[in-house]
Amino acid sequence: MTECDVLVIDDEPVVREGVRRVLEASGLRVATADDATSGLRHPALAVCRLVLCDVMLPDRSGIDVLNELARARPGLPVVLITGYATPDLAERAQEAGAAAFLAKPFEASELMECVRRALEVRAPQEERAWRS
Amino acid sequence: MHTRIGVQIVAAVGLVTALGIALLATVTLRTHRREMIAQLTRSADLLSETVKRSTEDYMLENRREYIRRQIETIGRQERIERVRVFNKQGRIVFSSDPTEVGQALDKRAESCFACHAQDRPLEQPPVQDRARIFTNGSGHRVLGIVNPIQNQPACASAVCHAHAPDERVLGVLDVTMSLADVDQQIAASRNRIIALAGGCIAVAGLLLWALSRRLVSRPVEALAAGTRRVAAGDLTTTIPAGARNELGELARAFNAMTARLAEDQRQLTQADKLASVGRLAAGVAHEINNPLTGVLTYASFLLDRAQENAELHADLEVIVRETKRCREIVRGLLDFARQTPPRRQPTDLNTVARRAVAVVMNQLQLAHVGLTLDLTTDLPPVQADPNQMQQVLVNLLLNAADAIGERGGTIRVASRQAQLAARGHEPIRRAACPKGCDLLDPGTRVGGLYAIRILREYRGREWGYCLDPVYGRFNHVAPEPWEEGVIAPAACPRCRTTLVEPEGTCERCQAPTLAVLGPNDEPIQWCTRTGCHFTRWAAREQRGPAPVVEISVEDNGRGIAREHLPKLFEPFFTTKGVRGTGLGLAITWGIVEGHGGTIEVDSEPDAGTRFTIRLPLEDAEPVRSAA
């Protein structure tokens, strides 16, 4: 499990597997978790370069995961995905330092575009985290 | 057991009437009978006295044969049953019936009883004591009267010396008269009275029945029928309330109650509809977006890899396109469900318009729609949320493109600053009755604004009626076309307080005016006469025209049918069939309203449509920089 680029946390199997298929086709290595607790304990978290996390998880919210990760792995880009994107949620996600916000449902190309950008901005994000 | 109230009233009153009439008849009959008997008694007494006097001389002279003949002659007269004379021992001395002469009567016989009831006989009892009524042998009733024959000095001194001088009563003259005639008369008048009383009771009963039917049964039946209809859910029920009595009052109260119920139900339904749209949207977003993500992700992923197979690629494109349509519908629902207050900032609407045009440009070019931008260069900035305003303009542009359809056409987007006169444009955003009930009706919109719902009396009935909420415009909504020139008073639909002003008169037609309390409790007047275009909002007129920024989207497409115009901004109203969600204009309206602005639609079927949005300029801050 040390070989991983993206960790996907979503309670919906079809979303997890769909994202895995699209990302793996682009050569990214993907690990998945179905709730916040197992995601935050996932061994892939130590090595991955990006986390895709659903906002509405059965045990905790994606914002919580985002905050946990900011402590555990500062600078790791996190993309929040949600089926219920309110401006309020978008604002909270931005304040918590989400790399991007992806509204369900999305096309494969939209997903790839979002992931690519998140991976690109990794460097400046890490820099900022380090400075603060 | 169910008995009709009319029948009960008729029965009760009829019984009392019958008893009264029966009592009256009985008393009348009794009096009548007593009087007849008294009269007959007097005439019998007179007769008896006459017989006594006429035979007195014969008695004194002891001419018995004359006496006997005279008594027989008198006794033969009609109605006279019998005339006889008893001596002191009770023996019959003379009689009109010669066969009983010589018989003796006991002192207890009916003819003796009057005087001999007590031990010591009376000598000259009053006439009513001497009279008696009894039934004779042949079954007729007869009246008998006895007349004592007093001793006189002549009796003792006469030659015959029949009687001793110390005797006071010598014998008794007994005359009996037939009561057959009298009884017949009494029976006849009794029958007459009974017939009359019966007739009276029948007529009174009939009259009562008719009255109770008219005054009680019918209104009560109407009330019962109305209540049943309301119970069955028909809140449009009204019952005639013509009667000026308690039942009429009840009917009016009933009508007021149903009107109030209907009003509340309508508002509840509307609020409920919106709330359920919100819940539905959130639920749909949650439940549908996940499976939709699966479909869209896999389908679009497959599409990318199926470039070489044209047929497969085309099919997959359909799946992706339609899934994206689902996505738009869900987003529309979400946008509608959470209309957020605008985040206002000084905004140049020209920039917003250009951005909106850029968003839809591709689609417009594909549909062969020409676009003209007619934007005023020195447009002052307004306080607005640029994102929301862009959403509004994109929405209007897409609607315009849809209206043009495939035959091609032009859309014109124009902006300008204007001085907006209150009359014809100013929306009335608050309307209350004198007691403070809110009259704005979220369920009825006129040009997107909540209409002012009042109750109007027209042709003897009360109707829900909506005043155009734009000051100086008269697109009122009547339940059906009303004839012009009729004075239709108005009241509050909630508390029924009259809205007619006690001293207001229309400047045009002198009819009474009605008024509601507008913003800051400023009265706004209308004429109560149907079709009269008089209205005045004096306080608003004083403030003069208001500066606004106006932006309009105009197309030369198919236009909007007149009957669709009032419903245009209602959620889920769509003319696009399966291609529309019916939420676009509802959201648009919500955004413009949230900005304190107005949206106006002018449309001509088959000629085109123009939507005009006006945002107020008064609270705009000065632009921070010229750049």
Report the distance separating Cα B585 and Cα B276, nearest Å.
19
The answer to whether B295 contacts A105, with C-beta atoms less than 8 Å apart, is yes
Cα–chain center distance at B578: 45
3-state secondary structure of B47: helix
Chain B positions in Cβ-Cβ contact with residue A109 (cut-off 8 Å): 300, 304
Q: Would the pLDDT of B427 be above 70?
A: yes
Q: Which residue has the higher pLDDT, B567 or A111?
A: A111
Q: Are residues B607 and B579 in the same domain?
A: yes
Q: Are residues B362 and B397 in the same domain?
A: yes
For residue B293, give the nearest of A56, A85, A105 by CB distance: A105
Q: Are residues B348 and B476 in the same domain?
A: no
Its ipTM equals 0.84
Helical (H) or strand (E) element with B582: none
Best to test chain A binding among B297, B336, B388 (most A CBs inside 10 Å): B297
For residue B183, give the nearest of B195, B191, B171 by alpha carbon.
Answer: B191
Q: Would the pLDDT of B272 be above 70?
A: no
* DSSP classification of residue B1: -
The answer to whether A22 contacts B301, with C-beta atoms less than 8 Å apart, is yes
The answer to whether A83 contacts B304, with C-beta atoms less than 8 Å apart, is no
Q: Are residues B332 and B480 in the same domain?
A: no
Q: Angle at the Cα of B216 (from B215 to B218), degrees rounded to 5? A: 90
Q: Would the pLDDT of B488 be above 80?
A: yes
Chain B positions in Cβ-Cβ contact with residue A56 (cut-off 8 Å): 286
- Cα distances (Å, whole numbers) of residue B466 to A48, B355, B415, B443, B566: 64, 39, 32, 11, 12
For residue B291, give the nearest of A14, A56, A107 by CB distance: A14
Q: Which residue has the higher pLDDT, B292 or B567?
A: B292
Report the distance separating Cα B31 and Cα B570, nearest Å.
86
Q: Which two tokens stand for residue B14?
A: 């009829």
pLDDT > 90 fraction of chain B, expressed in percent and rounded: 16
Picking from B276, B310, B338, the residue at the C-terminal end of a domain is B338
Q: Are residues B33 and B141 in the same domain?
A: yes
For residue A58, give the nearest of B290, B330, B279 by alpha carbon.
Answer: B290
Question: How many contiguous H segments (helices) and E segments (strands) does chain A have?
Answer: 6, 5
CATH number at residue B60: 3.30.450.20
Average pLDDT, stretch B321-343? 76
Q: Is residue B408 part of a domain?
A: yes
Q: Is residue B608 part of a domain?
A: yes
Helical (H) or strand (E) element with B457: strand B449-458
Do residues B175 and B78 make contact, with C-beta atoms less than 8 angstroms apart?
no
Picking from B338, B361, B380, the residue at the C-terminal end of a domain is B338
Q: Are residues B50 and B179 in the same domain?
A: yes
Do residues B528 and B512 make contact, with C-beta atoms less than 8 angstroms apart?
yes
The answer to whether B320 contacts A107, with C-beta atoms less than 8 Å apart, is yes
The answer to whether B334 contacts A84, with C-beta atoms less than 8 Å apart, is yes
Chain A positions in Cβ-Cβ contact with residue B338 (cut-off 8 Å): 86
The answer to whether B301 contacts A86, with C-beta atoms less than 8 Å apart, is no
Q: Would the pLDDT of A28 be above 90?
A: yes
CB half-sphere exposure, A50, CA atoms < 13 A: 23
Q: Would the pLDDT of B4 be above 90?
A: no
Q: Is residue B432 part of a domain?
A: no
Report the distance separating Cα B587 and Cα B593, nearest Å.
10
Q: Is residue B396 part of a domain?
A: yes
The whole-number pLDDT of residue A128 equals: 45
Torsion (CA) B344, B345, B349, B353 in degrees, nearest 10: -70
Q: Are residues B173 and B47 in the same domain?
A: yes
Q: Which two tokens stand for residue B400?
A: 């315009």
The whole-number pLDDT of residue B494 equals: 84
- Cα distances (Å, whole numbers) of residue A6 to A3, A22, A46, A66, A113: 10, 12, 11, 15, 14
* DSSP classification of residue B135: E
Min Cα–Cα distance to chain A from B350, Å: 25
Q: Is residue B210 part of a domain?
A: no
The whole-number pLDDT of residue B515 equals: 92
Chain B positions in Cβ-Cβ contact with residue A107 (cut-off 8 Å): 296-297, 300, 320, 324
Length of chain A: 132
Q: Are residues B19 and B160 in the same domain?
A: yes
Q: Is residue B202 part of a domain?
A: no
Q: What domain range is B122 assigned to?
A: 5-185
Q: Is residue B391 part of a domain?
A: yes
Picking from B542, B573, B596, the residue at the C-terminal end of a domain is B542
Average pLDDT, stretch B555-560? 90
CATH number at residue B395: 3.30.565.10
Report the distance separating Cα B393 and Cα B365, nearest Å.
17
For residue B297, give the nearest of A86, A87, A108 by CB distance: A108
Q: Is residue B627 part of a domain?
A: no
3-state secondary structure of B424: coil
The whole-number pLDDT of residue B1 equals: 47
Q: Are residues B110 and B257 in the same domain?
A: no
Given pLDDT bands bounded at 50, 70 and 90, which one contains residue A41?
very high
For residue A14, give the nearest of B286, B294, B303 by CB distance: B294
Q: Are residues B523 and B555 in the same domain?
A: no
- Predicted confidence (pLDDT) per residue in B338-395, tens digit: 666 677 889 999 999 998 888 788 778 878 889 999 999 889 999 998 888 988 998 8
Report the distance separating Cα B323 and Cα B288, nearest Å.
11
Q: Are residues B16 and B32 in the same domain?
A: yes
Q: Are residues B91 and B162 in the same domain?
A: yes
Report pTM: 0.46
Do residues A38 and A65 make contact, with C-beta atoms less than 8 angstroms apart?
no
Average pLDDT, stretch B500-528? 90
For residue B93, give the nearest of B60, B65, B113, B132 by alpha carbon.
Answer: B65
- Cα distances (Å, whole numbers) of residue B203 to B14, B20, B426: 10, 15, 68
Shortest CA distance from A23: residue in chain B: B301
* DSSP classification of residue B434: T
Given pLDDT bands bounded at 50, 70 and 90, which one contains residue B320?
very high
Count: domains in chain B: 4
Q: At what angle do helices B584-594 and B310-337 cross, to 10 degrees?
A: 40
CATH number at residue B290: 1.10.287
The answer to whether B298 contacts A21, with C-beta atoms less than 8 Å apart, is yes
- β-strand B345-347 against B92-95: which pairing, if any? unpaired
Helical (H) or strand (E) element with B253: helix B246-305
**List of residues 6+ apart from B563 with CB closer than 8 A:** none
Shortest CA distance from A26: residue in chain B: B301
Given pLDDT bands bounded at 50, 70 and 90, which one contains residue B11?
confident
Min Cα–Cα distance to chain A from B279, Å: 12
